[in-house]
Each structure stands twice: as structure tokens, then as C-alpha cells.
Chain A
Amino acid sequence: MDFLNAIVAFSNFVLIPATAYGAQLALGALGVTLIYGILRFSNFAHGDTMAFGAMVTILATWGLQGAGVSLGVLPTALLALPVGIAGTALLVLGTDRAIYAFYREQRAKPVVLVIVSMGVMFMMNGLVRFIIGPDDQRFADGARFIVKARDFKEWSGLREGLAIKTSQGITIVAAVLVVILLFWFLNRTRTGKSMRAYSDNEDLALLSGINPERVVMITWIIVAALATVAGVLYGLDKSFKPFTYFQLLLPIFASAIVGGLGSPLGAIVGGFVIAFSEVTITYAWKKVLTYLMPDSLDPSGLVQLLSTDYKFAVSFMILVIVLLFRPTGIFSGRAG
């Protein structure tokens, strides 16, 4: 019984939250890795692109809620997602046309684009705060839980409850669908292959008749979709606050780098590595250990390695370790 209780407590506080968080990071890191692989720079504006996507979706959600539209048990935000993706796509395409296109035309070195993206980051950051304000926004509706802790306890007769939030369920399902779709697109379709070809060898792509501007445009649209989905899922799961999204940049970059920048598979693996490290290191293991250890060995403290305030330190440490010992990441590779 104690063993089962331990497993349930572990699932409830570590496994499920970390999986959902990992899926959100993976989606964010996929966007970063695509830009790195195809446009050849690290896009520091990605966190704020996610914030913008989530913001447009929230505004559309409020509109739908005001009009009395709802999806029943599912959050209305899912219905507003296409609007958010379209809005974000317009923003990033506009940014590309107004800013990045100039530097591409100049054949600027990637490091110049990195700094440019930092400027774009501050502008997007300001734009989002200007439109929706710097405060927390709630927009989740529908049923809060798929499995309620109390129901689970009654059903299983265990002391520990297991709760699965609707947002966590949706996050995992959505992440799986998006990843399957992305891999299918990159590896099976003509356009997807042309993106990989452009990533591999720009000059030869040109010689094959691939239009570079079209590749760039499609990349931005896909990145806008990934960023919006990641941003909305994170917002549903936690809450929407522009500054949090800016901070998310660190774990997202850590995920992309741990996995190997430019490798979509790496981004996904990296996302889960970072999420599980963060959650397991900041989780107080007292409860789980109390079930597993004999009574005499019960831990007296919380058995928490780091306070949750330091969760970003975990991503940072992993980032440093990876850059020191395996700078190419787990899957060193390019897009595809």
C-alpha cells in the first residue's frame, strides 16, 4: 500500500506536472531550433513571441466568452487558438519584412542577427505590456480537472490523491499532435524538404530552384504557430503574465541547447530533460520518502534540494554543464 501511495504521490507532484511542463518547453524549443537551423541565429525574441501569441489568443477568448461561445468542458481558448496563430504569424512576418530582411539582404553574420533579435525582443515585450498590461490574466474556463484528487482517493482507497488538470491533459495531447505534424511536414512534404535543404546548404538550394524568401516565410509561420501553441498551453496550465514568458526564454534555450540546436528531436528530448530536472530538484521529497522508507528512517526535513525560487538556476546549471562537456547537445544536428 505504501509503495502504491508513493507512486501516486510521485505521479501527482512530479510526473504529471513535469510532463506537461516538458511538453510546453519542447514546443517552445522547437521554434527556437527551427529558427536556428533555417534562419541560422538564436532568436531571443521567442519568449516574447509566445507572449504575443498567448495575448492575441486571450483577447480572442474574452471576445468569444463575451459572445457566450464555449467549448463545454474544454477551454474556450482552444477555439481562439487559430486567431492567435494568425495574429502572431502577421507579427513575425511583419518583423521579418521590416527588420530581418534587411540583414539577410546584407548577408549579415548570424551574430548580428542574434543582437537584432534582442532588440526585437524588447519591442515585442513592450508591445504586449502596452496592449494587455503587465499583470496576471486568467482565461482558462471549462472543467478544471480530468481526474479529481478526491474522486481518485474514493475510487482507489489510497491515502494519496491523483489529480490531472484539464490543461495538463490538453498540453500533452496537443504537444504530441503538433510534433507528429511537424515531423511529417519536415520529412514527407515537398515544402518541408525544401526547408531542410535550405538549412543544409543555402547556395545549393538556390541552384535547385528553391525560393529562399518562401522558405523563410514558411519557417516564420510555423514558428508563429509553435510559439502560440506553447504560449497558450503554458498560460492555461499556469497563468498568463508577460514577464513569466520573458523568463521562460532561459529554460527554452537550455532545452534547445541540451538537445542539440538545430535538431527538432533534440528540442523535444531537451524540453523533457530540463522540465524533469527542474521539477525533481525543486520538489520536496518528504512525502514520497515517508512512504518508501521504514518508519525509523523517516526524513525530518522537506528533502528539497533547491527552493522553487531557484528553479531557473537548474536550467542555467544544465546549460553550463552541457556547454562545457558536450556543446553540440545530445543530438548534434541540423533541422530534419
Chain B
Amino acid sequence: MTGNPYHDDRGNKDRSITNPDGMGTTRPVKGGGVAVPVEKGGPFLIGDAMTGGYGMGADILHECTIAVEKGQIAVIVGPNGAGKSTAMKAVFGMLNVRQGSVRLDGEDITALSPQARVAKGMAFVPQTSNIFTSMTVEENLEMGAFLRRDDIRPTMEQVYDLFPILRDKRSQMAGELSGGQRQQVAVGRALMTEPQVLMLDEPTAGVSPIVMDELFDRIIEVARTGISILMVEQNARQALAIADKGYVLVQGANRYTDTGEALLADPDVRKSFLGG
């Protein structure tokens, strides 16, 4: 695929010698980088004019900018393959940005590894494989709080209050849960670090409309507690309705940027991306 001989998949399907399950797919920013203070001002979290792609491959993002203000909800929408998920991963350091920078609360964090970003108060819920399937619900939450050394029980209670079904299923394997419950575990795991920014990549993918409304309600609830939310969503109309800020990406670049309301009202956006 990339011409790297180490990625040759031949013979790799023999499960008696190889175990590709759960293998890492990204080449994250390496540890050891430091955050550089920059002048205050601007949004709380911003991925500014990011250009980059996976590994040595072609660029997927082209000077893409996404940002979220403190305690607000920002939504990224766009057609398939627009680089929405890639933009999220770039902001989290799951891939190297070749140009541009990521700034959080007055610091340039472009050189920080994903773990270090977690420590800075960022949390990310990927679109797929976002729970530890072979671990219990409670262990999933514990892993979310991996970097914390203080008492995590109050936070766990808060998560259980937010998603009461998880309290009943706490000692069940997360892999045995339904799609909607899995998404709740995934969001719960991310909330366990007590983040300042929660990044969600299509939290409602593959869940029923009722569960989807429920999840949106919960997300608004989370935002009300002062946590900034940066979210990629397929259900553009519904997502923009709750968004303070909306970004429409096309081919890895910003096409429209405005408040959620304004985007919903924009006839061009409606015609091209919201189905009229």
C-alpha cells in the first residue's frame, strides 16, 4: 500500500503465529515533545491551518482549521472522504501535521504525543473500536482515568448518573453491549479524565434514531458543565442545530465556517450538504 516492505501482508493471516487484532493503525506524534506557550487569545482549542496525512502518504488535510471555544459545541460536517476524522486525529496528535499548529489554552501543543495531550485535558472518542471489548464496563472507565492518581469514584458516579444503564452493566464485558450502550461506554471512558475538551468522532454512527436523540441530549448536558465539545457528525442537520460553531469540510479544506444556525440557514450549504 505504501511501498513499505514491512507492511507486506503476505503470510500475516496465520493466526497461529500472528495476532493483528487491535493493532495500532496510526503513527502518532512521538513522546518527548514539549508544549510551547504562545500569546493568549483566540479559541480554547484550535487546529490552525493543518496540512498533513497518514505516514508518508499524500496530504489529506490542506490548511484545514477547526476550533472550539470554552464550553461551546463545534461541529464538523462534510461529505464522505472530506477528511473530517483525519482533522480530528490531527488535532489529537494521532498523526503528524506537516504544516500548521495545534494550540490549546495558550500553548502550542503540536509536538506533544497523544498521551501528553490527554494529560493536558483533551479526550477523544474515535468513530470505531472506541471501547475495550474484552474488558468490563467498569474497567473501561478505569482505563479512561489511567493518568489520574486521585480518587476516580466520584467521576465514575457522575458517568453512571449521566448513563444510568452503565451502572447496571458495570461488570459486563463491554463487547457484549448493544451499539448505543457501547457508545455510552466510549463517551464515559473519555469523560473519566475530567477533560476540558471532548472530541467525538461520529458518536451516533450506527445507533437507532431514538438512541441518537438521547446521545445528543447527553452531549448537550456535558457541554453545559463547561466542557468544550468538538464533534464530527453524519447527521448534519441535527448536529448543526445544537452547534455554536459549524465547519463544512470538503476535500480536506474548509468550505464554510459559521455559527450552526447560520449554516443551517445558508441556501448553498442546504443545497450541497443538507439535502435541500
Chain A contacts to B: CB under 8 angstroms: 36-37, 40-42, 103, 106-114, 190, 193-194, 196-197, 199-213, 257, 261-262, 323, 327-328, 333-334, 336
Helix, strand, loop or mixed for chain B's interface? loop
- CB nearest neighbor in B for A112: B6
Most chain A beta carbons < 10 A, residue from B4, B12, B143: B143
Known: A40-B20, A110-B12. 9 other contacts (CB 8 A): A41-B19, A106-B6, A107-B27, A111-B10, A201-B129, A203-B25, A207-B92, A208-B143, A211-B31
Can you list the 4 inter-chain pairs with the closest CB atoms, starting with the nearest?
A110-B18, A202-B24, A108-B6, A209-B118
- Give the chain A neighbours of B119 by CB distance below 8 A: 209
Task: Please report the C-alpha to C-alpha distance between residue A113 and residue B14 in the assembled complex, in whole angstroms.
Answer: 13
Are A193 and B6 neighbours in the complex by a CB distance under 8 Å?
no
Which residues of B from 1 to 56 have beta carbons under 8 Å from A?
A: 4, 6-12, 14-28, 31
Are A199 and B18 neighbours in the complex by a CB distance under 8 Å?
no
Are B12 and A109 neighbours in the complex by a CB distance under 8 Å?
yes
Task: Please report the C-alpha to C-alpha distance between residue A190 and residue B27 in the assembled complex, in whole angstroms.
Answer: 25
- Which of B76-84, B96-104, B133-141, B268-276 binds A? B133-141
Contact among B23, B142, B144 for A40, CB-based, below 8 A? B23
What are 21 A-B pairs at a CB distance below 8 A?
Answer: A36-B19, A42-B16, A42-B18, A107-B27, A109-B8, A110-B23, A111-B18, A193-B143, A201-B131, A201-B133, A207-B92, A207-B94, A207-B114, A208-B144, A209-B119, A209-B193, A261-B16, A323-B16, A327-B15, A334-B22, A334-B134
Contact among B18, B19, B115, B144 for A211, CB-based, below 8 A? B115
Given contacts A41-B17, A111-B10, A262-B19, are A203 and B126 in contact (CB under 8 A)? yes
Task: Please report the C-alpha to C-alpha distance between residue A42 and residue B143 in the assembled complex, in whole angstroms.
Answer: 27
Task: Please report the C-alpha to C-alpha distance between residue A253 and residue B23 in the assembled complex, in whole angstroms.
Answer: 22
- Within the complex, the shortest CB–CB distance from B94 to chain A, in Å, comes to 7
Contact among B18, B124, B142, B146 for A114, CB-based, below 8 A? B18
Given contacts A201-B129, A204-B131, A334-B21, are A209 and B15 in contact (CB under 8 A)? no
- Give the chain B neighbours of A41 by CB distance below 8 A: 17-19
- Give the chain B neighbours of A333 by CB distance below 8 A: 134
Contact among A37, A108, A209, A327 for B147, CB-based, below 8 A? A209
- Give the chain A neighbours of B8 by CB distance below 8 A: 109, 112
Chain B contacts to A: CB under 8 angstroms: 4, 6-12, 14-28, 31, 92, 94, 114-115, 118-119, 123-124, 126, 129-135, 139, 142-144, 146-147, 189-190, 193
- Give the chain A neighbours of B7 by CB distance below 8 A: 107-109
Task: Please report the C-alpha to C-alpha distance between residue A181 and residue B19 in the assembled complex, in whole angstroms.
Answer: 25
- Give the chain B neighbours of A262 by CB distance below 8 A: 19
Contact among A107, A193, A334 for B24, CB-based, below 8 A? A107
Task: Please report the C-alpha to C-alpha distance between residue A328 and residue B14 in the assembled complex, in whole angstroms.
Answer: 11
- Give the chain B neighbours of A334 by CB distance below 8 A: 21-22, 134
Given contacts A109-B6, A201-B129, are A208 and B17 in contact (CB under 8 A)? no
Are B18 and A109 neighbours in the complex by a CB distance under 8 Å?
yes
- Within the complex, the shortest CB–CB distance from A36 to chain B, in Å, comes to 5
- Within the complex, the shortest CB–CB distance from B102 to chain A, in Å, comes to 15
Given contacts A103-B6, A203-B25, are A110 and B135 in contact (CB under 8 A)? no
Are A205 and B10 neighbours in the complex by a CB distance under 8 Å?
no
- CB nearest neighbor in B for A198: B22
- Within the complex, the shortest CB–CB distance from B115 to chain A, in Å, comes to 5
- CB nearest neighbor in B for A104: B24
Contact among A108, A110, A210 for B143, CB-based, below 8 A? A210
Task: Please report the C-alpha to C-alpha distance between residue A162 and residue B24 in the assembled complex, in whole angstroms.
Answer: 53
Task: Please report the C-alpha to C-alpha distance between residue A106 and residue B4 in the assembled complex, in whole angstroms.
Answer: 9
- CB nearest neighbor in B for A334: B134
- Within the complex, the shortest CB–CB distance from A13 to chain B, in Å, comes to 32
Given contacts A40-B23, A196-B134, are A114 and B6 in contact (CB under 8 A)? no
Are B22 and A201 neighbours in the complex by a CB distance under 8 Å?
yes
Task: Please report the C-alpha to C-alpha distance between residue A256 and residue B182 in the assembled complex, in whole angstroms.
Answer: 31
Contact among B10, B11, B31, B134 for A336, CB-based, below 8 A? B134
- CB nearest neighbor in B for A106: B6
Are A42 and B114 neighbours in the complex by a CB distance under 8 Å?
no
- Within the complex, the shortest CB–CB distance from A257 to chain B, in Å, comes to 6
Task: Please report the C-alpha to C-alpha distance between residue A202 and residue B28 in the assembled complex, in whole angstroms.
Answer: 11
- Within the complex, the shortest CB–CB distance from A118 to chain B, in Å, comes to 10
- Within the complex, the shortest CB–CB distance from A56 to chain B, in Å, comes to 28
Are B31 and A327 neighbours in the complex by a CB distance under 8 Å?
no
- CB nearest neighbor in B for A333: B134
Task: Please report the C-alpha to C-alpha distance between residue A204 and residue B126 in the assembled complex, in whole angstroms.
Answer: 8
Task: Please report the C-alpha to C-alpha distance between residue A103 and residue B94 in the assembled complex, in whole angstroms.
Answer: 19
- Within the complex, the shortest CB–CB distance from B236 to chain A, in Å, comes to 25
- Within the complex, the shortest CB–CB distance from B247 to chain A, in Å, comes to 22
- Give the chain A neighbours of B4 by CB distance below 8 A: 106
- Give the chain B neighbours of A261 by CB distance below 8 A: 15-16, 19
Are B22 and A107 neighbours in the complex by a CB distance under 8 Å?
no
Contact among A106, A109, A199, A212 for B9, CB-based, below 8 A? A109
Task: Please report the C-alpha to C-alpha distance between residue A274 and residue B135 in the assembled complex, in whole angstroms.
Answer: 29
Are B146 and A209 neighbours in the complex by a CB distance under 8 Å?
yes
Task: Please report the C-alpha to C-alpha distance between residue A336 and residue B136 in the assembled complex, in whole angstroms.
Answer: 11
Are B135 and A336 neighbours in the complex by a CB distance under 8 Å?
yes
Task: Please report the C-alpha to C-alpha distance between residue A204 and residue B139 in the assembled complex, in whole angstroms.
Answer: 13
